[in-house]
Amino acid sequence: MGLHNTEYKGVLGWFDARMPSAMGAFKTHMSEYYAPKNFNFWYFFGSLALVVLVIQLVTGIFLVMNYKPDASLAFASVEYIMREVPGGWFIRYMHSTGASFFFIVVYLHMFRGLLYGSYRTPRELVWIFGCVIFLCLMGEAFFGYLLPWGQMSYWGAQVIVNLFSAIPLIGPDLSLWVRGDYVVSDATLNRFFSFHACAIPLVLLGLVVAHIFALHDVGSNNPDGVEIKEKLDGAGHPVDGIPFHPYYSVHDIYGMGFFFMLFFAVLFFAPEMGGYFLEWNNFNPANPLVTPNHIAPVWYFTPYYSILRATTADFMVWLAAAAVAMGVLIYFSVPRRAIGVAVLAAALVAVVLMVVPGIAFDPKLWGVILMGLSVLVFAALPWLDRSPAKSMRYRPRWHFALLIAWSVVFLVLGYLGTLPPEPARTVIAQIGTLLYFGFFFLMPWWSRAGSFKPVPDRVSFAAH
């Protein structure tokens, strides 16, 4: 009859005989996906990111039902959702709180990667898909933030789109092309809405699938950084692995309980989160004629924004010094002379473009370059990290201290980015910028140094 053989009975059997790939996918990704049994707290954030993605997609669908992407109606339509659509306030706060929580969860998810070397071989592709997801998320947040059409929406978009104009030759035309007008206007709002509600979510979903498929092909890393596939039992399953379903599905549901307690505590009791999740000035409708005294992006962009603002004219000489030092360091570290010379030459070109009057780029352009680099540098981690052990557990303690120090720098930059610039703050942001990049660019050297502990064959696990 052309039916497939099936091990199931009843309705499921009828279905499986006709479409075995459905149960096949369930097995591959859930009930027969073997995950290390020693996952700890940090391993909640992957599935939580998926939960927040679903929250954003579902609430987004309902918001679009009442939102008007029209410069003269957008602001009032958001308040219409908040005041007159039954349950609209809940949907809208889910979406606005969800945006911030998405970044909290993803930042913790990425921190886990740094802590246990999750980007190391064979998981480079998993990591790179993750980095592209992060970029999409930033795009999604940026485009979405224009939609309420408040003062911060408007001027934030104006500032960021203007950054493109710093690019030589094509810059001004490029920013005009992105805006679709000479200022942020109805045309900009419509295209941003299209990107936010259609284009980027599609790309994001595809990338999330790629991220999970790539992960399930190579298998999850774990807090010990041990490859569990290297120790198999008689049935060919990892001895330190357990099926994702039911063990980690129930575990993640448990974690979700705590997550939703935090999420709802913010949503119901402090949806503006003191002006960090919903900026106060965004309760004023966009006014192209009134520039706010202080324009700051939402908190999750502020570390990079700080780096952008730190790149002032008097910082260029320090950047040039850092470029020379990097060039010399690489020159004396690479075995092949030709590569060393090429790197040194590149560093010199960079220095010329930083400090030589008449030829040098505008510091604003370097700010844009550094801001872009501060986000993209994560993707290089698999090749920057040369540590013999993946997990911080078996690396020198000072490696862990460096990671914590870098995290503190990230948070300090983030905090500074929310404040108006002042000379003392700019100096701190400049030091922070050098430390931020120093952590990454010096990693090939420091990650090899120190005394490492032997990595065990099996994961360390104490039964519950």
Partner 1 sequence: MKRIVATLALGVSLVAAAATARAAEELALDRWPSARAHDVAALQNGARIFANYCLNCHSASLMRWNKLRDIGLTEAQIKDFLIFGNQKVGDLMTTAMDPKDAKAWLGKAPPDLSLITRARTSFEYSGTDYIYTLLRGYYRDASTATGWNNVAYPNVAMPNIFWEVQGPREATLTTVERVEGSSKLERTVRVYDVDGNVKVTKAELENGDPSSSYSFKATDEKGAAKVDGDVADLVAYLAWMTEPVAQTRVRIGTWALIFLAIFTVFAWRMNGAFWKRVK
Q: Which one of 132, 212, 428, 442 is in contact with partner 1 (CB under 8 A)? A: 428
Tokens for 37?
């049994």
Q: Which one of 137, 157, 226, 242 is in contact with partner 1 (CB under 8 A)? A: 242
Asked if 283 interacts with partner 1 (CB under 8 A), we say yes
Q: Closer CB to partner 1, residue 10 or residue 274?
A: 274
Q: Which stretch binds partner 1 (CB under 8 A): 101-109, 189-197, 270-278, 382-390?
A: 270-278
Q: Closer CB to partner 1, residue 84 or residue 217?
A: 84
Q: Which stretch binds partner 1 (CB under 8 A): 13-21, 204-212, 239-247, 387-395?
A: 239-247
- Side-chain half-sphere exposure of 66, counting CA atoms within 13 A: 20
Q: Which one of 29, 229, 231, 251 is in contact with partner 1 (CB under 8 A)? A: 251
Asked if 280 interacts with partner 1 (CB under 8 A), we say yes
> How far apart are alpha carbons 438 and 377 in whole angstroms?
11
By CB under 8 A, how many residues form the interface with partner 1?
57
Residues 9-68 binding partner 1 (CB under 8 A) are 37
The least distance separating partner 1 from the CB of residue 260, rounded to whole angstroms, comes to 5
Q: Which one of 281, 321, 353, 438 is in contact with partner 1 (CB under 8 A)? A: 281
> How far apart are alpha carbons 46 and 29 in whole angstroms?
14
> How far apart are alpha carbons 84 and 76 in whole angstroms?
11
Which amino acid appears at position 288 of this protein? P
The least distance separating partner 1 from the CB of residue 333, rounded to whole angstroms, comes to 26
Asked if 464 interacts with partner 1 (CB under 8 A), we say yes
Q: Which residues of 317-348 are buried (b: 16+ CB within 10 A; e: fewer)?
A: eebbebbeebbebbbeeeeeeeebeebbeebe
Q: Closer CB to partner 1, residue 16 or residue 279?
A: 279
Q: Give the orientation angle of helix 423-441 with respect to helix 397-418, to 10 degrees.
A: 140
Cβ contact 100:297 at 8 Å:
no
Tokens 């706060």 sit on residue: 93
Residues 432-461 binding partner 1 (CB under 8 A) are 432
Q: Which one of 18, 27, 83, 453 is in contact with partner 1 (CB under 8 A)? A: 83
Which amino acid appears at position 192 of this protein? F
Asked if 238 interacts with partner 1 (CB under 8 A), we say no
245 exposed, middle or buried (CB, 10 Å; 0-12, 13-18, 19+)?
middle
Length in residues, the chain? 464
Cβ contact 459:226 at 8 Å:
yes
Interface map 165-184 toward partner 1 (x if CB under 8 A): --------------------
Q: Give the orientation angle of helix 151-163 with respect to helix 171-179, to 10 degrees.
A: 150
Task: Kindly list the residues in this chain that would bind partner 1 in the complex (CB under 8 A).
Answer: 37, 76, 79-80, 82-84, 89-90, 93, 242, 246-247, 250-251, 253-254, 256-258, 260-261, 264-265, 267-269, 271-272, 274-275, 280-281, 283-285, 397-398, 400-401, 404-405, 408-409, 411-412, 415-416, 418-419, 422, 424-425, 428, 432, 463-464
